[in-house]
Structure 1
Amino acid sequence: NVIAMSGQLELFKECIKKIKGAVGEERAATIISKAIYIVCTGSNDISNTYFSTPFRRPHYDINGYAEFNARYANQFLQDLYGLGARRIGLLGLPPIGCVPSQRTIGGGKNRDCYEAENQLAIAYNAKLSGVIDSLKAVDTLPDTKFIFLDIYYPLLSLIQNPAKYGFEVATKGCCGTGLIEASVFCNPTSIPLSCPDASKYVFWDGYHPSEKAYKILVPIIINKHLNEFF
C-alpha cells in the first residue's frame, strides 16, 4: 500500500536524524536545504478513491474534490519547508483516464480514455499550480523554490502520438493482458501473457509507463524546470 503523507513525513524526519548523526547539524542543514524534493500526490485519490468508491462523490463534485486534495498538498509542502526543504517540485497528475487500466474500467467497449478522470486531473493540476503560486507569494517562506512540474501534456503526447516517439502500442500495457494488471498483479504468472518487447509500449502495466517512456519524459521535465530550482 502507498504510505500516507503523514507517514512519509515521519520517515523524512528519521532520515534527517541519520544525516545529522553522520555529518553533524550544520552540514546536515546544508544538505537538506540544497536537496531537490519532488512531491507527487493525487493519482490514487482519483482512480482508486473518487471514481472507484462511493465515499467521496456524494460530498464533492470534481472541482470540490480537486480543491480538497490541493489543500492537503499545500499543507504537506509547508511541512516539508518546516523540516528544512527549500527546493520543492510538485508533480502534477498525468492523464489518468488514458492509462490502460482506466480505459478498461471507464472507457466503454472501445476502451477510449476515461474523460471524467482526465477532467479531474486537469482540475487538480490547476489547483496545484495555484498552490505553488500562493506559496511563492508568502513572505514567511523565504529563500524557497516551489516549482509546479507538468506531466499531463508530455505523457498525453506520447499516448496520442506513439509512433513519433518510437512506440507501437499506447492503449495497452506490456504486462499480462495489458488491460488491467498493475503492481503485484504483474508477477511470474503474468509472463506467458506479457509482450516480448516492452520498449514498443508506452505503458509497462495497466497504470505505469514503461522504462522507455520514462526515459523520454524525464529529460523533458528536467530540461524545462531544472534551472528553476537554483
Structure 2
Amino acid sequence: MQGQQNKAIPSSFLCMNFLCILLPLIVIGTSAAKVPAVIVFGDSSVDAGNNNYIPTVARSNFEPYGRDFQGGKPTGRFSNGRIPTDFISDALRVKPYIPAYLDPKYNISDFATGVTFASAATGYDNATSDVLSVIPLWRQLEYYKDYQNKLRAHVGEIKANETISEALYVMSLGTNDFLENYYTMPGRSSQYTPGQYENFLAGVAENFIKKLYGLGARKISLGGLPPMGCLPLERTTNFVGGNDCIPSYNNVALEFNSKLKILTVKLNKELPGIKLVFSNPYFILLSIIKKPSRYGFQSASVACCATGMFEMGYACRRGAMFTCSDASKYVFWDSFHPTEKTNSLVANYVVKNVLAEFL
C-alpha cells in the first residue's frame, strides 16, 4: 500500500481514547496542510497493526475486524473500520489513514507524512505492557528515534527537522493501566491507592512529553481517558449495578483527566515553544453512550461483535456468526472498542474543539 491515494475510505487491546461525518469538510479553505505529518503513540485506540508483528495475543488482524475498512480487510485496527487518528489525519489534510511502523507493506516514504508506533494493550506503566507482552511506551520512543534517522536519510536534514518540529504528535493511552493492570492484576493496587497510581502515570506522561520535546516535537496532543466504566464488558460484569456504567471507574477517569489537564498547563509554561493540548474524549463519548439515538445509534450497552457483551480480539472471531450486520447502529464494535462511526464522531469533536489551532 505504498504511495497511498488521498481518497475517502468507507468509513483502548483494552482502551480507546477518541452520524459518520466527513471530517475533511470541517477544514476551511483549500490551502496546503499546516501539519506535514501525524505521529502517534499509544494503545489499541490508535494501533493500526503493530501488534501483528510481535508475539502477543492482543491482535485484531482477522475477520470480522476491518470489514468496513478499505477493501474490507482486517489490518490490526480494533474496529470495523478507521480509528480516531485516521480521521484526525484526514481532517488535517495529511492522508486518509496512518500506517503502522512495523508493517512491512510500508516504508519511510509512507511514514514521512504519518506513522503510528502504538501497541494494543500497552500503557504508561511498563507493568501494563508486560501483561500481554506488547510494546511499552519507552520502546515506542526508541522506534521514533529510529524513524527520525530514516527520515533524515530520506528527505535530508533540513526537511526532516522541519517535519519533526511541525508534525502533530498524538498520545492516546492510559485505560489499560487501570482496567488491564491496576484493577485486574496483583501488584500495583497493593502499592498505590487509585489517586497515587494516577499521579504515578501522570509522572510517566510528563517524562515522555519532555523526551519528545527534547527530540524536536513541538505540537503535541495528550489524550485523556474515556468513561471506562461504560465499556460493554464493564457493564456486563456489573451485576450489582444492574448492568449500568461503573461509577468508580468513571470517577477515576475524570480524576486522571484533571491531572493531565493540569500537566498540559504546567508544561506549556516550562517548555519554550511547545504547543501541548489536552484532547479529552470523555464527555463527548459519555454523551453518545447516554443518548445514543441522538447520534443515530440503536445500542450503546452491548457491542456489535459476537454477543456484544464480553468479546474482543480472538473471541470476536469465534463468535463471528452472532456479529451484527450494521455496525453503524452500535456505539461499540467489541466490548472495549468503538465502531468506526463512533470514532469519527469523537475525532470530529476533538479536531473542532482542540486541534483546530493546528489547521
Task: Output the TM-score relative to the length of structure 1.
Answer: 0.94
Q: Number of aligned pairs?
A: 227
The match for 2:277 is 147
Q: 2:228 aligns with which of 81, 96, 102?
A: 96
Cα deviation, 1:35-91, whole Å, max 9, x if unaligned, reads: 001101211001111111221122222211111110001111111111111100001
CA distance in 2, matches of 1:14, 1:79: 15
Tell me if structure 2 keeps the 8 A contact 1:147–1:228: no
The match for 1:44 is 176
The match for 2:148 is 16
In the alignment, is residue 204 of structure 1 matched against residue 325 of structure 2? Answer: no
CA distance in 1, matches of 2:265, 2:233: 33
RMSD, aligned α-carbons: 1.4
CA distance in 1, matches of 2:319, 2:168: 36
CA distance in 2, matches of 1:7, 1:220: 30
CA distance in 2, matches of 1:109, 1:146: 38
SS at match of 1:171: coil
After the TM superposition, which residues 151-230 of structure 1 pair with which residues of structure 2 at under 5 Å, given as runs? 151-187=281-317, 189-229=318-358
| 1:214/1:199 CA distance change after superposition, 3 Å | same
CA distance in 2, matches of 1:63, 1:222: 30
Q: 1:123 aligns with which of 255, 259, 271?
A: 255
Structure richer in helix, relative to its length: 1
Structure 1 residue 102, shift from structure 2 partner: 1.5
Tell me if structure 2 keeps the 8 A contact 1:107–1:113: no
| 1:120/1:50 CA distance change after superposition, 3 Å | same
Paired amino acid for 1:211: E
CA distance in 2, matches of 1:27, 1:196: 46
Q: Which moved more, 1:42-51 or 1:104-113?
A: 104-113
**Could you list the runs of 4 or more consecutive aligned residues of structure 1 that deviate by over 6 angstroms after TM superposition?**
none
| 1:107/1:44 CA distance change after superposition, 3 Å | farther
Say which structure, 1 or 2, has more relative contact order (CA 8 Å, 6+ apart): 2
Paired amino acid for 1:176: A
Identity, in percent, stands at 39
The match for 2:266 is 134
In the alignment, is residue 76 of structure 1 matched against residue 208 of structure 2? Answer: yes
In the alignment, is residue 31 of structure 1 matched against residue 163 of structure 2? Answer: yes
Paired amino acid for 2:178: I
Cα deviation, 1:159-186, whole Å, max 9, x if unaligned, reads: 0000000000000110011111113322
CA distance in 2, matches of 1:185, 1:82: 42
The match for 1:7 is 139
Paired amino acid for 1:171: S
CA distance in 2, matches of 1:91, 1:228: 16
Unaligned runs of 5+ in 1: none
Paired amino acid for 1:4: P
SS at match of 1:172: coil
CA distance in 1, matches of 2:355, 2:201: 26
Q: 1:105 aligns with which of 237, 259, 277?
A: 237
Paired amino acid for 1:69: L
SS at match of 2:170: strand
Structure 1 residue 109, shift from structure 2 partner: 6.2
| 1:109/1:122 CA distance change after superposition, 3 Å | closer
Structure 1 residue 226, shift from structure 2 partner: 2.1
